[in-house]
Amino acid sequence: MVRDKDFVIIFHSMHRVMQAEKILKRAKIDILLIPVPRQLSSDCGLAIRYAPLEAEQVKEALREAGLCPAECYQYAERKYLAVTAD
């Protein structure tokens, strides 16, 4: 489900992740709503996955909407590495 080098962002609530999905889809950014990977934890249960090519567009769209993710990870070498979301 998550490919090598993909990013995964997590929000603190279901409402916020659904809001982010709506914003990103409206901006025609290629994202996918996924269950939070087992290696990560979240009260929400859902995360947004996107490819590195979409990273700047995702950051800009969320910044413009005033919606910052709680956590951001990049999947590499079968591990999730925390990265800054801004």
DSSP code string of the chain:
---TT-EEEE-SSHHHHHHHHHHHHHTT--EEEEEPPTTS--SS-EEEEE-GGGHHHHHHHHHHHT---SEEEEEETTEEEE----
Please, are residues 73 and 40 in contact by the beta-carbon 8 Å criterion?
yes
Which pLDDT belongs to residue 44?
81
| Spans in the chain with pLDDT lower than 50 | none
Domains of the chain: residue spans and CATH: 7-82 (3.30.70)
Residue with tokens 């901006």: 27
Q: What is the pLDDT of residue 86?
A: 61
pLDDT on residue 69:
95
Matching residue, tokens 């999730």:
80
Q: How far apart are CA 22 and CA 41, in angstroms?
A: 23
What pLDDT shows up at residue 85?
65
* Res 1: pLDDT: 75
Q: What is the pLDDT of residue 13?
A: 93
pLDDT at 56: 96
